[in-house]
Amino acid sequence: MLNIEISSWLLFCLLPLFLLFLISFIFTFRSSKESSSEQLPRSYPVIGSYLSVLANKDRLIQWTSDIVRSSPNLTFTLRRPLGYCQVYTANPATVQHILKSHFSVYEKGDIFRATLSDFLGDGIFNADGDKWKFQRQMSSHEFNTKSLRKYVETVVDTELSQRLIPILAAAAADKTVLDFQDILQRFAFDNICKIAFGYDPQYLLPSLPVAEFAVAFENATRISSDRFSSPFPLIWKIKRALNIGAEKKLSSAVRHVREFAQEIVKEKKQELKENSELESGDLLSRFLSSGHSDETFVTDIVISFILAGRDTTSAALTWFFWLVYSHPEVEKGILREIREKSESPLYDEVKDMTYTHASLCETMRLYPPVPSDTKEAAKDDVLPDGTVVRKGTRVTYHPYAMGRVEAEWGSDWGSFRPERWLERDAQSPGKWKFVAKDSYHYPVFQAGPRICLGKEFAFLQMQRVVAGVLRQFRVVPATQEGGAEPVFISYLTTKMKGGFPVRILERVIN
């Protein structure tokens, strides 16, 4: 009797108390958003820290970055619903551990693969084990040929001189405002489709057309990546089974992308059959003529390449042009370099653009195109700092946070300063020498066996764009005369929220 009374009394009192606690927690959390040093988020039974995640859903990268930077050993564990854990790290020793020395333990994993498999199939981006290894070997072989480099140069140059520059010249003459982020994405999309497929989607045209393939690809990427923010995968799986809501749109977008890609693969196969002498430079032709004829597989590979190359370089360039506008002394340095090199032939010009290269690295330190990247432990493990990792735990390395660690970059980590990547060349006075960071301290292109395959091409493309654009034009933000810092957001890759409206001015050569 007494017992029952006590327990109902307890329940009566404790339930409101618990609710009060929850509410006050949410409020303290709100106000603590302003403070610079983040505390480890509160965790509750069953839901873990889901409330904090929800409260920060539009700034997960910045929020987790603040926490990881103020955590001991630059590592913390986030409690996910239903007892799952996710470890975040900005510690180079741990990055080396997961990406290199214990590579076989830290895979893409089941969650990642299930989430993206409708879209990416077994493509390199979404594969582990032997399936990955095979594609990696084949791709890196095809990637490292001189003829592919030549082909990439031609593609980038054509897109630059026949599409980008004329559009900018027209905008300068008409004084129109352009969304430069959109323009750069279109540029990158045309480029990567030509390089991967030998197909020109004609996405960067003066009319800024809606290209169906590009839109379907964009939709498929966005909706697939939204699946990651669902609290339980079961939710999107049910929607998919019922073919409703976002999942219905996704399946239509994916069908579009795949049908389109398959059509291109078929045509290319036919072309190669009819003309075995054909010297097309694109990756698809290379894969097909090296004896891989399984259409689904080749399609998967090519879709992964488009995803990898599509929004990464455009994200880096968008932030680059904004940073360079707000740092006139850097712009001067780049211009000086462009003018010095403008006489030399293409490849050497790019190779020697040390200051521009440093400026791009510095941009991606602050705004990495892939701001965080997640692996899944295939078995129990212990990280170098002692953090215990159970099988199935996701471990996320965090380039965005790593570019902001004071111990790594000094107290001026917040300043955009390309010089931190340079030193005077002892051999030739007056010249700069580039000082690279190792990839565990700067994993912007990842590190270890799965390091980005397109890194060199990315720099080649970005440097060509920088030289081509800045030589002739000034890119001036159109909001509030330069205005406030744009808002950094991220799906799978980084974006500037709301785009990057700019005016283009012809540069007066002096």
In the annotated binding site for heme, the residues are 452
| Sole binder of ligand NAG in the list 45, 291, 345, 386 (CB under 6 A) | 386
Q: Residue 359 binds which one of ligand HEM, ligand NAG, none, with CB within 5 to 8 A depending on kind?
A: none
Which of 224, 313 has the CB closer to ligand HEM? Answer: 313
The pattern of x and - marking residues 65 through 84 that bind ligand NAG according to CB under 6 A reads: -------xx-----------
Kindly tell me which of 215 and 346 has the beta carbon lying closer to ligand NAG. 215
Taking the C-alpha atoms of residue 330 and residue 314, their distance in angstroms, rounded to an integer, is 20
CA angle 188, 283, 109 (to 5 degrees): 80
Residue 370's SS3 state is coil
d(CA 509, CA 472): 8
Asked whether position 429 contacts ligand NAG by CB under 6 A, the answer is no
> C-beta of 301: minimal distance to ligand HEM in Å?
9
Smallest gap from Cβ 8 to ligand HEM, in A, equals 53
Contact partner, 445, from ligand HEM, ligand NAG, none, Cβ < 5-8 Å per class: ligand HEM
Which letter does DSSP use for residue 135 in this model? Answer: H
For ligand NAG, give the closer residue by CB, 246 or 505: 246
Q: Is 216 near ligand NAG (CB under 6 A)?
A: yes
Q: In angstroms, what is the minimal distance from the CB of 257 to ligand NAG?
A: 8
The pair of structure tokens assigned to 367 is 């705004």
Instruction: List interacting residues with ligand HEM (CB under 6 A).
Output: 124-125, 136, 305, 308-309, 312-313, 316, 369-370, 373, 444-446, 450, 452-454, 457-458
Q: Which of 230, 252, 262, 289 binds ligand NAG (CB under 6 A)?
A: 252
Residues 6 or more apart in contact with residue 491 via CB below 8 angstroms: 221, 222, 225, 226
Task: Give the nearer residue to ligand NAG in terms of CB position, either 75 or 115.
Answer: 75
Kind plus residue range of the DSSP H or E element containing 351: helix 346-351
Q: What span, in angstroms and rounded, lies between the C-alpha atoms of 366 and 191?
A: 25
CB of 118 to ligand NAG, least distance (A): 13
Q: How many CA atoms lie within 13 A of 291 on its CB side?
A: 1
Assess contact for 395 and 376: CB atoms under 8 A: yes
Of these, 40, 55, 215, 505, which contacts ligand NAG (CB under 6 A)?
215
Compare residues 252 and 354 and give the one whose CB is closer to ligand HEM.
354
- In contact, 42 and 58? CB cutoff 8 Å: no
β-strand 381-382 against 75-79: which pairing, if any?
unpaired
254 binds ligand NAG (CB under 6 A): no
CB 226 to ligand NAG: min, Å: 12
User: What would the DSSP string read from start to end of 425-464?
Assistant: -SSSTT-EEE-PPPTTT-TBTB-GGG--TTHHHHHHHHHH
Shortest Cβ 249–ligand NAG spacing (Å)? 6
* Half-sphere exposure for 205 (CA within 13 Å, toward CB): 8
Q: How far is residue 302's CA from residue 196's CA, in Å, rounded to a whole number?
A: 6
Quote the least distance from Cβ 394 to ligand NAG, whole Å. Answer: 17
Both tokens assigned to 260: 């389109």
Applying CB under 6 A, the span of 215-223, 367-375, 418-426, 431-439 interacting with ligand NAG comes to 215-223
The token duo for 476 is 């001036």
Nearer to ligand NAG, 179 or 218 (CB): 218
Residues 180, 167: Cα–Cα separation, whole Å: 11
Total Cβ atoms within 10 A of residue 325 = 16
Q: How far is the C-alpha of 313 from the C-alpha of 142, rounded, in Å?
A: 21
Q: Which is nearer to ligand HEM, 77 or 314 (CB)?
A: 314
Minimum CB separation from ligand HEM for residue 338, in Å?
20
The helix (H) or strand (E) run that includes residue 382 is strand 381-382
Instruction: Give which of ligand HEM, ligand NAG, none residue 256 binds (C-beta under 5 to 8 Å, depending on kind).
Output: ligand NAG
**72 touches, from ligand HEM, ligand NAG, none (C-beta below 5 to 8 Å by class):** ligand NAG
Taking the alpha carbons at both ends of the chain, their separation in whole angstroms is 95
Cβ proximity to ligand NAG: between 387 and 494 the closer is 387
Packing angle of the helix pair 455-472, 165-174 (nearest 10 deg): 30
Choice from 256, 292, 341, 503 touching ligand NAG (CB under 6 A)? 256
**Residue (118 or 247) nearer to ligand HEM, CB:** 118
Q: Is 253 in the site for ligand NAG (CB under 6 A)?
A: yes
Note the residues at the interface with ligand NAG (CB under 6 A): 72-73, 212, 215-216, 219, 249, 252-253, 256, 385-387
